[in-house]
């Protein structure tokens, strides 16, 4: 009865949509019976990127997964005369409108109750500890709740104010990825509402095709309403070390040395330091005095590299300190340019929040972010860096330039996530580099024309790094992470051999292409 009533109302509204009067979509929230729509769509028209601003016709604030199921089943049932699309929005921290739905409906996942349930090692799930959370839960919320039980997820992103559903739709990577794989390798079970409104519980052993489709699936196959995340014992403290290099080859050799020691090392990242400002800003969250300077001038402008690693300290005994000493004595950083600090596990994981607070205080957080993220095979990383530095201006580069290794064998190839194609040599093939070119475009110093130029540079970098062949040299063979393309042909190239499976999964789970229209991969079907 409820569904019938709702469907009738949605049909009326969809007819309005079909008549191209999107602003009439919602006359009043009461029109929608059990569903809570919002008329003010401003919040869903903007994301962290501040590059695209697509307004939806309405926002749904679901109170339960049932609301999402009602919406999608009604839209599918009435699809013969409605072109409405639906985008789940987690924390809205996409760059290119991935969680936007032009004239469609945005489902704000934070309205679902977080309902975080923590389970300690028991007989269920093979004796593993895990948390069940809503898809709209922020990772910071899960961290706070799980720490009360002395537990925490194993795999993270650098920034924790992102939603579980949002990062699982991409991959979720950070300095722990070399050891535990991305966040999508640390999920035991999902509850998903498919594009046709069917609510399904899925896992590697039940409805596995949907499970693997959704992980890294860019929101294309269903809306994650609940996720079961693996947990492990949380350390109290973390020993956090940074060391500087002026030689790229040595820098990456040392990074690879660290990722070959997962029995000791818990986190490995690194970043390029292209200028003085970049060096200063990298020390906002790292609690050590910047007691050295670096010379950036010279005939061929020098850049530096900072390697970063961490070791968990469970008991605050000497052993973590010994392990740090054992690891650091093998590193070949610039003499004396090494800092080692001890911080709480919470502060370590939440470090980017400190940078956010700093940038907010200077009015530099809510500015355009023409970010670019790439996965680069080891065989192409040196050429990628050369091409990158030739394209961007290292003098006025603003923002972090991350570069660290991850290991292919920690990724499940059944998921929808895309990595560079494997090459013939297993010896080098397992190591991939993640590169984050995380530029900010402060309108005071980088107005619209400058932002356009950065976006043009990004397109050039993507084109050059992903080209299959050309230029006389072997292809770099990179893939975009958090991808964004404007044409379906480019998406097909991006997925490469995975395209057929990706589009077959789309036909199976979202046959009318209602979901995640912001990526522009599949046109809406009637």
Interface positions with ligand FAD (CB under 6 A): 47-48, 87-94, 98-99, 109, 135, 157-159, 162-163, 165-167, 169-174, 218-219, 223-224, 482, 516, 518
* 117 labelled catalytic: no
Q: Of 16 and 198, which CB lies nearer to ligand FAD in the complex structure?
A: 198
369 is catalytic: no
Spot the catalytic one: 47, 93, 308, 369: 93
Q: Which residue of the set 269, 308, 313, 398 is catalytic?
A: 269
Q: Classify 336 in phi/psi space as left (phi over 0), alpha (psi -120 to 50) or beta.
A: left
Smaller CB separation from ligand FAD, 90 or 377: 90
Q: State the nearest-atom distance from the C-beta of 175 to ligand FAD, in Å.
A: 9
Give the Cα-Cα-Cα angle 330, 333, 339 (nearest 5 degrees).
Answer: 95
- What is the three-class DSSP state of 404? strand
Nearer to ligand FAD, 94 or 323 (CB): 94
CB of 469 to ligand FAD, least distance (A): 29
What count of Cα atoms within 13 Å lies in the side-chain half-sphere of residue 433? Answer: 29
Please give the span between the terminal C-alpha atoms of the chain, in angstroms, as a whole number.
Answer: 26
- Where are the alpha helices (H) located in 273-422, listed in sequence order? 276-281, 318-328, 345-349, 351-361, 381-391
- Taking the C-alpha atoms of residue 110 and residue 92, their distance in angstroms, rounded to an integer, is 10
Token code pair at residue 202: 């899925």
Which residue's CB comes closest to ligand FAD? Answer: 165
Min dist CB 351 to ligand FAD, Å, is 11
| Stated length of the chain | 526
In the complex, least distance from residue 477 CB atom to ligand FAD, rounded to whole angstroms: 21
221 φ, ψ (degrees, to nearest 5)? -110, -20
Displacement of CA 11 from its chain's centroid (Å): 35
Percentages helix, strand, coil for the chain (3-state, rounded to 5) are 35, 20, 45
Residue closer to ligand FAD, measured from CB, 82 or 169: 169
**Least gap, CB of 372 to ligand FAD (angstroms):** 12
Comparison of 213 and 466: residue with beta carbon closer to ligand FAD: 213
Helix, strand or coil, per DSSP, at residue 140 = helix
- State in angstroms the smallest separation of the CB of 135 from ligand FAD: 3
In this structure, the number of other CB atoms found within 10 A of the CB of residue 242 comes to 22
How far is residue 4's CA from residue 8's CA, in Å, rounded to a whole number?
6
Q: Which is nearer to ligand FAD, 229 or 320 (CB)?
A: 229
Question: What is the C-alpha to C-alpha distance for residues 99 and 111, in angstroms, rounded to an integer?
Answer: 16
Q: Which is nearer to ligand FAD, 372 or 388 (CB)?
A: 372
Find the angle CA(210)-CA(211)-CA(213) to the nearest 5 degrees.
60
DSSP state of 370: -
> What angle is formed at CA 479 by the lines to CA 412 and CA 370, rounded to 5 degrees?
120
State the catalytic residue, choosing from 108, 158, 191, 308. Answer: 158
Backbone angles phi, psi at 139, to 5 degrees: -60, -30
Tokens encoding 486 = 């404007």
The alpha carbons of the chain give a radius of gyration, in whole angstroms, of: 23
Quote the least distance from Cβ 464 to ligand FAD, whole Å: 23
Residue 460 region by backbone torsions, left for phi larger than 0, else alpha for psi between -120 and 50, else beta:
alpha
**In the complex with ligand FAD, which residue's Cβ is closer, 157 or 255?**
157
> Is 246 considered catalytic here?
no
Measured between alpha carbons, how far is 347 from 434 in angstroms, rounded to an integer? Answer: 24
For the CB of residue 466, give the shortest distance to ligand FAD in the complex, in Å: 19
Report the catalytic residues: 93, 158, 269
């Amino acid at each position: 009865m409820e569904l019938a009533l709702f469907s009738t109302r949605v049909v009326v509204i969809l007819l309005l949509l079909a008549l191209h009067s999107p602003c009439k979509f919602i006359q009043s929230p009461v029109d929608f019976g059990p569903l809570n729509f919002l008329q003010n769509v401003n919040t869903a028209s903007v994301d962290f990127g501040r590059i695209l601003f697509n307004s939806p016709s309405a926002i749904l604030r679901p109170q339960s997964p049932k609301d999402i199921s009602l919406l999608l089943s009604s839209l599918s049932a009435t699809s013969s005369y409605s072109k409405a699309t639906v985008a789940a929005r987690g924390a809205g921290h996409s760059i290119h409108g991935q969680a936007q739905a032009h004239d469609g409906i945005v489902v704000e996942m934070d309205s679902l109750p977080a309902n975080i349930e923590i389970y300690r090692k028991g007989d269920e799930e093979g004796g593993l500890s895990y948390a069940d959370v809503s898809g709209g839960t922020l990772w910071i919320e899960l961290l706070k709740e799980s720490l009360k039980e002395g537990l925490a997820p194993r795999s993270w992103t650098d920034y924790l104010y992102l939603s579980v559903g949002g990062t699982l739709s991409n991959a979720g990577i950070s300095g722990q990825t070399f050891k535990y794989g991305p966040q999508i390798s640390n999920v035991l079970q999902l509850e998903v509402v498919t594009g046709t409104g069917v609510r399904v519980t899925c896992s590697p052993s039940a409805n596995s095709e949907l499970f693997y489709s959704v992980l890294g699936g860019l929101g294309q196959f269903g809306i994650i309403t609940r996720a079961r995340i693996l947990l492990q014992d949380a350390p109290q403290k973390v020993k956090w070390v940074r060391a500087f290099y002026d030689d790229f080859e040595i820098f990456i050799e040392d990074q690879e040395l660290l990722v070959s020691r997962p029995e000791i090392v818990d986190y490995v990242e690194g970043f390029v330091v292209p200028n003085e400002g970049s060096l200063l800003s990298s020390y906002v969250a790292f609690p050590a005095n910047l007691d050295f300077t670096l010379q950036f001038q010279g005939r061929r402008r020098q850049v530096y590299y900072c390697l970063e690693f961490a070791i968990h300290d469970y008991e605050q005994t000497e052993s973590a300190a010994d392990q740090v000493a054992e690891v650091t004595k093998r590193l070949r950083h610039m003499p004396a340019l090494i800092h080692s600090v001890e911080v709480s596990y919470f502060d370590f994981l939440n470090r980017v929040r400190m940078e956010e607070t700093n940038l907010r205080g200077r009015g530099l957080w809510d500015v355009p972010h023409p970010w670019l993220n790439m996965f680069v095979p080891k065989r192409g990383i040196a050429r990628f860096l050369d091409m990158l530095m030739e394209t961007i201006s290292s003098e006025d580069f603003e923002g972090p330039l991350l570069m660290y290794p991850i290991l292919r064998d920690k990724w499940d190839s059944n998921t929808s996530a895309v990595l560079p194609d494997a090459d013939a040599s297993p010896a080098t093939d397992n190591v991939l580099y993640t590169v984050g070119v995380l530029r900010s475009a402060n309108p005071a110093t980088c107005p619209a024309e400058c932002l356009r130029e950065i976006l043009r540079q990004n397109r050039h970098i993507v084109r050059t790094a992903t080209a299959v062949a050309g230029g006389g040299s072997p292809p770099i063979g990179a893939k975009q992470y958090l991808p964004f393309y404007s044409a379906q042909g480019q998406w097909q190239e991006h997925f490469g051999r995975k395209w057929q499976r990706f589009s077959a999964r789309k036909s199976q789970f979202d046959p009318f292409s209602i979901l995640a229209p912001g990526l522009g991969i599949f046109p809406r079907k009637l």
